[in-house]
Chains A and B, each alone.
Chain A
Amino acid sequence: MNIQHQTVEESKKRELSFKFDMQSYTLIIALVLIALIFGFFTGGEFLSSRNISNLFTQMSVISVLAIGMTLIIVAGHIDLSVGALVGLTGGIAAILQVWYDWNTLLVVLCAVVVGALLGLWQGWWVAYRAVPAFIVTLGGMLIFRGILIGLSKGQTVAPMSDSFKKIGTSYFPYIPGYILALVSIALLVFWTIQNRAKRKNMGLMIPAAKVDYGKVAAYSFFILLATYMLNRYLGIPIPILIVLALAAIFIFISNKTPFGRYVYAIGGNQEAAALSGINIKRNTLWVFITMGGLAGVAGVLLTSRLNAATVSAGNMYELDAIAACVIGGTSLIGGKGKIVGALIGALIMASIDNGMSMMNIQTFWQYIVKGLILIVAVWLDISSKK
């Protein structure tokens, strides 16, 4: 290894960790601030195990949507139909179970597949017919809501079977919860060691052991703390486990697979991506299929939590999902954004709803505050770049 090469590598490391910190710091500081403020005004009740458990459950539906929405926005599109799609897939699940007695597994599968197919339909218009996603999904929003009202004949469909209800309302119990936490910590350590060995093998500089293992220690601490807090109440809520599993899968896809890389490239510069041999249409189509499938998951979660499907279920959820992405640092121009950011964004939004309700502040204030936070978040993002 020559010297010049090492210096490039070294400075690279430094910048890497620095940038990472800068971006997540703002969000995390905001989150901590919000937690402290609500914690103070609710006499600590906001930070109780019970409320944290509730908070995580409440944010789950939007979080699932925000994961898919991040990909959509990074690819340079938008999806306004996800709220209606959540309502429709949740409604179909309820109708199949309540009116036709389908079992839970089949119903869940059906909701996800219907979501993915409708995503395919929208993606086809966007990718192969070049209709702007704003228009296609604005149309989808009306179409899906219309289908839902037609299928359900305008009625509320309820109640769901016990096994279906469990998806959104049950908890991962005490002992297995800790086992899960320990397994994920073990995986974290294993991956870090493996990654370091790999880079060393390739002749690349590796970050200082302190930095790498310090991060592992910090993550482990938070995993254990969260598990402990949740276990003090009823255990880890299943919805948040679903969110975490999906987040892990999609973070992996966006960072480690060609598909993920292509989505960022397409959003960053579609023409350059096309001339690099990337199939724009097919990748765009898959982004929409993915979003549709995730909307199906969110629909199941929502119906399960409410134990019913209503014609207005999921109304305006698309805006919450978009807001979560944007607060999390995703650029509406495309090419830039992180799933982790979107999840923190969703948590911030859910905290405001939850905290303000606990303080008995009237609902209208929640809208106003969330709106202001959205604007300020983007302003902070823009002004930090200057």
Chain B
Amino acid sequence: MDTYALQMKGIVKEFPGVKALDNVTFSVKKGEIHALCGENGAGKSTLMKILSGVYPHGTYDGQIIINGQNVQFKSIKESQEAGVGIIYQELALVGEMSVAENLFLGHELMRKRVINWNEIYVEAQKWLDHIGLTIDPQTKVADLTVGKQQLVEIAKALTKKTNILILDEPTAALTESDVEILINLLQDLRSQGVTCIYISHKLGEVMSLADSVTILRDGQTISTNAIEELSEDKIVTKMVGRELTELFPYEEHVISKETILEVKDYTAYDEQGNKVIDQVSFLLKKGEILGFSGLMGAGRSELFISLFGGLKGKKEGTVIIDGKETNIQKPADAIKEGLAYVSEDRKRYGLVLGMDITKNTTLAALNKVVKLNIIDQALEVRSATDITEKMKLKAPSLEAKVGQLSGGNQQKVVLSKWLLNNPKILVLDEPTRGIDVGAKYEIYKIINELVQQGVGIVIISSELPEVLGMSDRVLVMAEGKISGEFLREEATQEKIMTCATGGKKNEYSTSNS
């Protein structure tokens, strides 16, 4: 087993002004799952783009050896022909086409220059069986869950006779149960001899799945180790190059007796009239961090988007903010009531990527810098400067377009935008998704500061360690209902997962006030 499927030696890649990769060495043994870890900007994606031919031979220095043979890819197609398949974080499937059509897109099975659909469906079924996905190959991809789409992507790569499979953050958008299916599949593929390169920020998965780990930092290879020699802490230390005292800087704080948000018997429907939220009741105190856990599709995001006035369907129930009953119909109402919702998909729902930082920051609070219906631009820049400084935003200038910022800094812009409204209640939906360790830590610090100031905070997160690490209290949702509630001291991953998967309902432990 000691032969290498892939060796990349002395890889140097320069962009104008930046050395993205500096003499990187990366060796992957045949048939192993090899994790590639590093902070955002460490060079992981660049390295994979070189391997998959996105950056053609000649635009970088160094040597790539696949199965003992020197290769020089000039295009993505050449790398595919050599058996390298890459699956990006953003899936590359055509939603309006069927699974079978997607599987063979670009290399359709032909008979006399005409597509042979029967053969495609039969072949597609074989591949789906092969990866253990029980769906009809004629299903439209858009109708599948993200988790299943991911599996279809893998099947698609396999149809191209891929023997080195690269997965870039494959579980970022998956639920815990889908993650498990994916992990099982990868283990199956390993036993069949497929080599897999696994890029992930989720170190728990890396520890349970990978055989070895290579860590990149600032464009250089820091180390390659067998998994037995590592721990999560060791990986983090190597990634950031410094000792992080703790992953979740939870600070003891005083939770006020005052309730800032009370939701009673809240039921919401989508536009088609399906019930998405079912009789939900909960309380949030001033200065409390309330975690919301649950599987994807459990209705956590929908609950808060609906409370925020962003869902179109009918809704019933009572929402009391700061002792006053409210009637929120649209986001503008919610903003007036002191509610802020930081979406899980910042690029889609949080930011106008083509606008600069200043304008994004003031978008939801323009009335604060407007006099007589005219924007006071000096005041606007002043406000944006102050708030982004507080967030420790790193940007070339406030005139920079947000689209050019890293994920962590984009998230800080979204936070700045909502904090400019001085919200009483801040809902953070997956606040650290796709963000590197350093920026995560800073965002947790900001959460701590806000809670000290008496803001009521809701954290919706699919990452259990995050929910457990940051919350004073955890609510679990399943199928639109609240299925469990735990205080910080009593919450464990197992208990939460049991409730989230619809297991036994736990006793409610808070008293109504």
Contact = CB atoms under 8 A, between A and B. Distances in A.
Interface stretch (B48-56, B60-68, B144-152, B376-384): B376-384
Contacts of B331: 274-277
Interface string A251-285: 00001111001001100110111111111000000
A104 to B, nearest CB: 32
B87 interface: no
Interface stretch (B195-203, B272-280, B341-349): B341-349
Interface in B398-429: 398-400, 417
Nearest to A336: B354
A336 to B, nearest CB: 6
A15 to B, nearest CB: 5
B81 interface: no
Interface residues of B, number: 41
Given A8-B398, A199-B378, A272 B352 contact: yes
B398 A202 contact: no
B425 to A, nearest CB: 15
| Interface size class, chain A | 35 or more
Label chain A's interface by main secondary structure: helix
Contacts of B382: 202-204
A232 interface: no
A257 B375 contact: yes
A268 B355 contact: yes
B385 A275 contact: no
B363 A15 contact: no
B352 A265 contact: yes
A271 B350 CA distance: 8
Given A202-B379, A204-B385, A272 B348 contact: yes
A15 B399 contact: yes
Contact of B363 (A12, A198, A271, A273): A273
Contacts of B227: none
Interface string A15-50: 110010000000000000000000000000000000
B416 to A, nearest CB: 13
Interface string B354-370: 11000100011011001
B374 interface: yes
A184 B375 CA distance: 22
B334 interface: yes
Contacts of A335: 352, 354-355
Contact of A256 (B355, B375, B400): B375
Nearest to B335: A277
B396 A11 contact: yes
Contacts of A8: 385, 395, 397-398
B415 to A, nearest CB: 14
A203 B385 CA distance: 11
Contact of A195 (B373, B375, B378): B378
Contact of B399 (A12, A201, A258, A269): A12
A202 B380 CA distance: 10
Given A258-B373, A336-B354, A275 B349 contact: yes
Contacts of B335: 277
B377 A256 contact: yes
B504 interface: no
A16 B399 contact: yes
A9 interface: yes
5 contacts: A15-B399, A261-B359, A261-B375, A277-B364, A278-B332
Interface of B: 308, 310, 330-332, 334-335, 341, 343, 348-355, 359, 363-364, 366-367, 370, 373-379, 381-382, 385, 389, 395-400, 417
* Top 7 A-B pairs, shortest CB-CB distance: A268-B352, A12-B397, A277-B332, A276-B364, A269-B352, A277-B331, A277-B335
Given A261-B359, A272-B349, A275-B310, 9 more contacts: A8-B397, A11-B396, A12-B398, A12-B399, A198-B376, A257-B375, A269-B348, A275-B343, A335-B354
